[in-house]
Amino acid sequence: MTSEESTWAGIIVPLISGIIEDMAFTEVMPSEATPQYDLAARGASLLVHDPVQGEFQLIIENSLLKYLAGIVYGPMADELNEQSEGDFLDELLNTIAGRFLSVILPEDKSFTLGIPERFSGPFVVPVPPVSSWSFVIEGMCFTLIATGESLVALENR
């Protein structure tokens, strides 16, 4: 399912815009097309354990990861390296997934997330059911993917 078709898009687009603007003071635009990521990109995945089971993945162009991490680290940007950029990616995914679940789940439902794990290309589209949303910042792209039957089924409730 693309961002254009997704009924979650009305939630996820402003949520991600708000998170990126709060963290990196940068404007985010939704992308109608799903970008093709080559090896010059990085990914992180995060399991949802409870009350539904699924996984969030965030794939981001290396140049965008460096750009955002550089803004967030500000005066400490000189200390950025592959490890700290990966840590920033984990934190971004963790924040997006947590905030998203807190919006889509009932207020009295707590949830449990795993610990983010990183992966590199080639990037394979996950097995359906899948929902994905892509975004552009300064001409560079990132994509959020939600997969897992019970997680994605929440969209149709």
* Contacts of residue 37, Cβ cutoff 8 Å, sequence gap at least 6: 59, 61, 121, 123, 141, 143
The answer to whether residue 97 forms part of the interface with another protein (CB under 8 A) is: yes
**Per-residue CA distances from 130 to 49, 70, 99, 125 (Å):** 17, 31, 19, 9
Q: Among residues 32 and 49, whose Cβ is nearest to another protein? A: 49
The answer to whether 109 and 63 are in contact (CB under 8 A) is no
Q: Among residues 94 and 147, whose Cβ is nearest to another protein? A: 94
Among 108, 124, 139, 156, binds another protein (CB under 8 A): 108
The answer to whether residue 113 forms part of the interface with another protein (CB under 8 A) is: yes
The answer to whether residue 11 forms part of the interface with another protein (CB under 8 A) is: no
Min. distance of Cβ 10 from another protein in angstroms? 19
The secondary structure of 90-107 as a DSSP string is HHHHHHHHHHHHHHHS-T
Q: Return the ∠ at Cα 110 (arms to 19 and 45), rounded to 5°.
A: 50
Among 9, 11, 19, 71, binds another protein (CB under 8 A): 19
Please provide the size of the chain in residues.
157
The answer to whether residue 91 forms part of the interface with another protein (CB under 8 A) is: yes
Choose the stretch contacting another protein; rule: CB under 8 A; options: 19-27, 37-45, 132-140, 147-155.
19-27
The answer to whether residue 87 forms part of the interface with another protein (CB under 8 A) is: yes
Task: Please give the structure tokens belonging to residue 37.
Answer: 């990521």
The answer to whether residue 88 forms part of the interface with another protein (CB under 8 A) is: yes
Parallel/antiparallel/unpaired status of strands 41-50 and 54-61: antiparallel
Min. distance of Cβ 33 from another protein in angstroms? 28
The answer to whether residue 137 forms part of the interface with another protein (CB under 8 A) is: no
